[in-house]
Structure 1
Amino acid sequence: MYRKFLLIFLYLYALVFSVSKTIRIPNQWAQSHWLVDYRFGFIKRGLAGELLGFLCEKNAFSVTALSVLVLAVLYFFIASIAVKITWNNTRSCYRILFFVIFLLSQYIVFSAHLIGYLDHVVFLMTIFTVYLITRNKLFPASIIAVFSIFIHEISIVLMLPVCCFAIIVNQVPERKFSIKNVFSPNVIKKLALFLTLPFLSAVFISGYQEVNGGNYYTQLFSYLKQSSISEKVADSVCSAYTKSFTYYFSEQYEYFFQRIFISKATIFYGIPIVFCLWMIFKEFKLNIQLFILLIVISAIPLILHSIAYDTYRIWTFPYMILFLGFWILSLKYKRDSGQTKPEKFSWWEYVFFITAFLFVSLIPAILFDGETERFSVAVKLILILPILGILYFIKKAPVKTD
């Protein structure tokens, strides 16, 4: 029990440390997304604002209150899933180190900094959708996915791939994964049942945006300015809502390879992401084909580099995809903690962990709106000592069999 208490404290401490670096109230970009609705006709991302307006008056207070609630619920589920998975096998160092890196990761840092962004709603709905999928309730899961796409089309690359991964893992016989089995009639049928409605929704939104997206710019711009949104932010938001996907692709695609392979994020985010992948591989002793599929699923959000310029935000998404992937695999591939011996790390794995740990805990994230993290490197060095101390104690302490 004492060991479990330490693990809970470890995870909560890491989460609070990451959140404290950058937490703030929703910026005007986030507020604008909740203010936009269908008052001028159908528009992408309008559903969230429409629902908020149905529930209460839309103003800075209601947007802030809802943003805090959404983020708090998301953190609650993240912490609960991490604790539950770890408790299933407290001997597993791979699980513990995976969740430590994730809770210190730039995803958690940015989620606090970008409070109020619709990404958080999408990931919260993804957790519910994956939960339904693992219980073979595919049609309700598909309906939630449709709502998520109408809230933000980013669901296409954040929600749908990891949900397909959940279906595949849930349907393919344990330890018999192969690409051939993925294309079996049963799996294809399940994927079709889940994907049909979200796919049609995505086609509708994309097609409508290409043809009619630019019709509402002037009305939206005037509405946002009347809602105390600055002219610069209002113009940026209106452009995001009304310009077509092909426009953004033509503007941004030439920077795609640079953003993936030779940006600062390639190193500072990429190395911890690869470490998380390695922990998953070691924890579940994955079939190499399944492992490759997980790599592909986690990399799909990076496609956004071809249409968007917020490089550092996009690089945070694979962390959350891997967190969900770990959860999905843990539900399928259960290990008997009473029969599992503590793992032995090689020297290079220790170096790998320390490198990833320092990158996520000490390297300052490049934030929006010209803001910087609250803690200096010296303060961070002091604040991470309890994390290292608890990890050392867990490694050295004997484990009692329950």
Structure 2
Amino acid sequence: MSRKLLLVFLYLYALIFSVLKTARFPNEWAESHWLLDYRFGFIKRGLAGEIFGWFFRKNEWSIALLSAAILIFLYVLIFRIAVKETFRNENSFPRILFFLIFFLSQYVVFSAHLIGYFDHVVFLLTILVITLINRKKFFAASLVAVFSIFIHEISFFLMLPISFFALIVSECQNKKFSFGDIFSKSILSKLALLFVLPVITTISISFFQEINDENYFSIIFNYLKQTLMISDEVAGSVSSAYTKSFTYYFEGQKGHFIQRLFISKCTIYYGIPIAFCLWMIFREFNLKKNIQLFIVLTTAAFVPLLLHAIAYDTYRIWSFPFMVLFLSFWILSSKEITVKKEEVKRLSSVEIIFFIFSFLLIFLIPNELFDGETERFYLPVRLILMLPVFLILYFLKKPQSKID
């Protein structure tokens, strides 16, 4: 089997394993979001349900089919990106390990578990925004970002930071980046073109949320109940999410922020694999020579964790940095921001141990899922399924000769 086929098989194997651990139908929370629209006036997150209602009858099957189509499309895109960027330098073992960890990561696991969530739509639109930025179509990218914020305001944390990074890389492609470059007339004008409308949109939605009264709660609650698809508990939770102010959630959750970020199981189970991915990017693109760019990248990756201050779905939030780092790798690789190495450097013993530890954390340790569900595959099965991965890595660790 050729090296390229082995790489494709490795990524596909990892992706399928992660998805099968938690794949299911959309839960009631996801269904509720697709059911809500602008029939009672403007509400945040109503745009997706509004557009959905133009083309489909809103029921469990149509929501399930649409959710599956969105998720599969996202998987196809990220798989294509991973394969393409690996083939740019298929002798780079750090590159292979980065994508392997990503496909096994909690992000992919939770993406299957939380099928139907608007997060997937936001990341699809983020890929589109990055593509537009790379093509210097900043105003078009801005409009897509505004659209995404109307889909879900979480776009402010997931999309805008990595879009900032993409713009910086695009504009500083042939030189070393410094923070002072941000204040150049050229970059400032493009930043304004890209971010003014999305920021205004986010502020406007936040203001609307602050002044929204409790009467709207009962309207949403009763509507969800009459669909006969949503339980009282979920209808109440969703109605609160759509009507309670951001200040309300911040006051209720801010006390848990430090604990969720630094003193939780996720700090270890998610934090170590995230750190490994970050190190592989640092190593692969020689960011030691571009530290300030690396700081921007790291900031973009960890901005989503600020959501711990306003939301309590800790495990889902901790999964977001994996996807942001994946997009960061794609941005850097496609732009070839750094000087290419003349020779492939071997991983050190410390880096190998770092990888193995990260791999075992995401491959063997089950994640705590929503709705009382548990992951598939018991430990003995996982140990067996782990063997092909290490076998393939053994064959891939030797760089391909130029003759091949």
**Which of 387, 391, 403 does residue 389 from structure 1 map onto?**
391
Contact 1:301 1:314 (8 Å CA) reproduced: yes
**SS of residue in 2 equivalent to 1:26:** coil
In the aligned structure 2, how far is the partner of 1:195 from the partner of 1:315? Answer: 25
In the aligned structure 2, how far is the partner of 1:401 from the partner of 1:230? Answer: 63
Aligned: 1:80 with 2:80? yes
- After superposing the two structures, state which structure 1 stretch, 177-186 or 16-25, moved more: 177-186
**SS of residue in 2 equivalent to 1:58:** coil
Q: What's the C-alpha RMSD, in Å, of the aligned pairs?
A: 1.4
Aligned: 1:148 with 2:138? no
1:165 aligns with 165
Contact 1:174 1:332 (8 Å CA) reproduced: no
Letter in 2 for 1:25: F
Letter in 2 for 1:354: I
Q: CA deviation at 1:200?
A: 1.2
Contact 1:172 1:182 (8 Å CA) reproduced: no
Aligned: 1:290 with 2:297? no
In the aligned structure 2, how far is the partner of 1:66 from the partner of 1:249? Answer: 32
Q: Please list, as runs of the form range in 1=range in 2, the aligned pairs for 1:29-44 lying within 5 A after superposition.
A: 29-44=29-44
1:214 aligns with 214
In the aligned structure 2, how far is the partner of 1:270 from the partner of 1:242? Answer: 33
Against the structure 1 CA distance between its residues 336 and 281, is the aligned structure 2 distance closer, same or farther, given a 3 Å change threshold? closer
Letter in 2 for 1:351: I
Aligned: 1:318 with 2:350? no
In the aligned structure 1, how far is the partner of 2:403 from the partner of 2:310? Answer: 52
**SS of residue in 2 equivalent to 1:65:** helix
Aligned: 1:305 with 2:290? no
Contact 1:91 1:340 (8 Å CA) reproduced: no
Letter in 2 for 1:11: Y
**SS of residue in 2 equivalent to 1:210:** helix
**SS of residue in 2 equivalent to 1:396:** coil
In the aligned structure 2, how far is the partner of 1:23 from the partner of 1:90? Answer: 31
In the aligned structure 2, how far is the partner of 1:351 from the partner of 1:214? Answer: 54
* Structure 1 residue ranges without an equivalent (≥5): none
Contact 2:105 2:322 (8 Å CA) reproduced: yes
Q: CA deviation at 1:14?
A: 0.4
* Structure 2 residue ranges without an equivalent (≥5): none
In the aligned structure 2, how far is the partner of 1:272 from the partner of 1:147? Answer: 32
Letter in 1 for 2:345: E
Q: CA deviation at 1:399?
A: 3.0
1:350 aligns with 352
**SS of residue in 2 equivalent to 1:384:** helix
**SS of residue in 2 equivalent to 1:360:** helix
Letter in 1 for 2:123: F
The number of residue pairs the alignment matches comes to 401
Taking structure 2 as the reference length, what is the TM-score of the superposition? 0.97
Q: CA deviation at 1:199?
A: 1.1
Letter in 2 for 1:152: H
% same residue: 60
Contact 1:26 1:115 (8 Å CA) reproduced: yes
Q: Please list, as runs of the form range in 1=range in 2, the aligned pairs for 1:2-401 lying within 5 A after superposition.
A: 2-212=2-212, 214-228=214-228, 229-286=230-287, 287-333=290-336, 340-396=342-398, 398-401=400-403
**SS of residue in 2 equivalent to 1:6:** helix
In the aligned structure 2, how far is the partner of 1:51 from the partner of 1:207? Answer: 24
Contact 2:174 2:337 (8 Å CA) reproduced: no
Write the deviation string for residues 319-359 of structure 1: whole angstroms up to 9, x where unpaired.
Answer: 0000000011112216898x742221111111000000001
Taking structure 1 as the reference length, what is the TM-score of the superposition? 0.97
Write the deviation string for residues 20-66 of structure 1: whole angstroms up to 9, x where unpaired.
Answer: 00000000000000000011110000000000001111111110000
Q: CA deviation at 1:3?
A: 0.5
In the aligned structure 1, how far is the partner of 2:62 from the partner of 2:152? Answer: 20
Contact 1:19 1:112 (8 Å CA) reproduced: yes
- After superposing the two structures, state which structure 1 stretch, 171-180 or 88-97, moved more: 171-180
Write the deviation string for residues 120-165 of structure 1: whole angstroms up to 9, x where unpaired.
Answer: 0000110011011111011111111011000000000000110011
Write the deviation string for residues 260-284 of structure 1: whole angstroms up to 9, x where unpaired.
Answer: 0000000000000000000000000
**SS of residue in 1 equivalent to 2:212:** helix
In the aligned structure 2, how far is the partner of 1:175 from the partner of 1:7? Answer: 32
